Amino acid sequence: MSELTLPEKWESCRFDAVARVVSGKNQKEVENPEGEYPIYGSGGSFGRATSYLCEPGTTVIGRKGTINSPIFVNERFWNVDTAFGLCPLNSDALLPRLLYYFCRSFNFAALDKSTTIPSLAKRDIEAIAFPLPPLAEQKRIVSKIEELFSELEAGEECLRVARRQLGVYRQSLLKQGFEGHLTAKWRTQNPAQLESLGDSDVPAEELGGFAELPPGWRYTRFGRFVRHIDAGKSFRCEERRPRPDEIGVAKVSAVTWGEYDEAESKTCIDPKKINPSYFIRPGDFILSRANTIELVGASVIVRQVTQNVMLSDKTLRLTMDDTLKPFFLQYLRSRQGRLQIEKRSTGNQESMRNIGQDRIRSIIVPECSLPEQQEIVRLLDEQFEAIERNEREIDGALRKSEALRQAILQKAFTGRLVPQSPADEPASTLLARLRAARDEYNKSFSSKSL
């Protein structure tokens, strides 16, 4: 900010000249479900406390972990030791909402000097250059930001609704595909490619809630098609992506989001642990054995490999005929497939569930002739390509909206968002009030320490 030319009545000053940085503390001694005050970390509120550290109008930023997602809190609260509370020294000289919007405009990640988990130092925050506008202009700035942000948020909500509807449509297509509706016309046109598979080998009492299948189809167990399951090992690694000449170990996030991502791996540092038989290869069907309830069992077919990455103990390789993999990949992503995975997963916490190999094999799947399976996959891929194209357009519009939000904030803190007024009291007079508030706080803090 010091390099920018600010409007005439503004002042550029250190952050600690206008605001106080409140260090968080461990919540163990004050945590109580019946407590009067919320507990905040960098990700938001997660409990109650019997005491507080911060006053209403404080902005929370992460000290470790998530450091670039400010949260405005308009009540007294306790901040944990991984979060700072930033509050004006005098809210009659610096509006709390203006401070919050400044924090949203500032790239705190630029202050991160760590090599592993992102973290901030209090002294670095206190040294940030802060552009202080006159009080009357602060009010105009906050009002204009909130007016413009409200319009952006309304548009973003429409985009998010559209994206959710695409997700519903995707599940509708999967349901039609695995109940035989998607290929009803194909079956009438290709009778020679149909096959009667006989009766289901799954007990009738286990098929409650399953749809009736077309003639020739049946329900069976996934294990009939899975010849072998490989699991990696658990051992200490460096929490960084391996270099090209190093060996990686896949994280569960490598298979979480629909495509295999070899960048989501950590580095094996013990040559004795390297086992080439665990290397992930193109065409592998990989399934996440452990994750949250929503993501346990997430599966991918590996398309491309450019680096040697091994299976971990939480990622499994399922060996089956290559021709069957696309069909079962889509089925496990369907609502019925997900329900079975979640039902078979074990664990007392929603944050980490597990599904064992025997339970994977026991998953009930629909079976039809191989040509019809391939037609189902073709039709789904065709429709999903259009869905994904729309999703990319929506995501692009959301990114543009966020960029516009940052442009608004940039204008706000360089004096270009609202007009200046010659009648405004200069910010230099506010600094006197802020200094007095800081001196009073330091005096009070010193007396409490005695």
Kindly state whether residue 61 falls inside one of the protein's structural domains.
yes
CB-CB contact of 30 with 448 (8 Å): no
Residue 387 lies in a domain: no
For the segment 13-41, what is each residue's pLDDT rounded down to a tens digit? 999 999 999 999 999 999 999 999 999 99
**Residue 393 pLDDT grade (very low, low, confident, very high; cuts 50, 70, 90):** very high
Q: Are 242 and 128 in the same domain?
A: no
Backbone region of residue 347 per phi and psi (left: phi > 0; alpha: psi in -120 to 50; beta: other values): left
Which tens digit of pLDDT belongs to each residue from 324-381? Answer: 999 999 999 999 999 999 999 998 776 789 999 999 999 999 999 999 999 999 999 9
Domain that holds residue 305: 206-367
Please provide the DSSP assignment of 172-208 as one string.
Answer: HHHHHHHTTSTTHHHHHH-GGG-----S-SS-GGG-T
* Band of pLDDT at residue 67, cut at 50, 70 and 90: confident
| pLDDT interval class at 422 (50, 70, 90) | very high
Percent of the chain with pLDDT over 90: 89
Same structural domain, 127 and 211: no
Does 117 fall in a domain? yes
Q: Which amino acid is at 229?
A: I
The domain boundary, picked from 338, 367, 396, lies at: 367
pLDDT digit string, tens, across residues 160-211: 999 999 999 999 999 999 999 999 999 999 999 999 999 999 999 999 999 9
User: Is 326 found in the same domain as 231?
Assistant: yes
Query: 258-292: per-residue pLDDT in tens?
Result: 899 999 999 999 999 999 999 999 999 999 999 99
In a domain, 45, yes or no: yes
Last residue of a domain, which of 133, 164, 196? Answer: 133
Domain match, 357 and 213 both? yes
Question: Do 213 and 126 belong to one domain?
Answer: no
Return the pLDDT at 2: 43
pLDDT at 350: 67
| Residue 109, domain member (yes or no) | yes
Tally of domains within the chain: 2
CATH code of the domain containing 116: 3.90.220.20
The predicted pLDDT at position 450 comes to: 43
**What is the distance between the alpha carbons of residues 28 and 23, in angstroms, rounded to a whole number?**
16
Residue 449 lies in a domain: no
Instruction: Establish if 447 belongs to a structural domain.
Output: no
Are 37 and 127 in a shared domain? yes
Per-residue pLDDT tens over the stretch 80-126: 999 999 999 999 999 999 999 999 999 999 998 776 777 899 999 99
Mean pLDDT of the chain: 94
- In what helix (H) or strand (E) does residue 299 lie, and over which residues does it extend? strand 299-301
Tokens of 253: 């996030």
Tell me if 53 is assigned to some domain: yes
What average pLDDT does the segment 74-83 reach? 96
Residues 215 and 109 in one domain: no
Q: Tokens for 77?
A: 């609260």
Q: 325 with 224, same domain?
A: yes
- What pLDDT is stored for residue 437 in this prediction? 85
- Convert the pLDDT of each residue in 212-258 to its tens digit: 999 999 999 999 999 999 999 999 999 999 999 999 999 999 998 88
129 and 28 within one domain: yes
Instruction: Please check whether residues 227 and 324 belong to one and the same domain.
Output: yes
- pLDDT(448) > 90: no
Using 50, 70 and 90 to split pLDDT, how confident is the model at 447? low
Do 128 and 230 share a domain, yes or no? no
The residue from 87, 112, 133 where one domain ends is 133
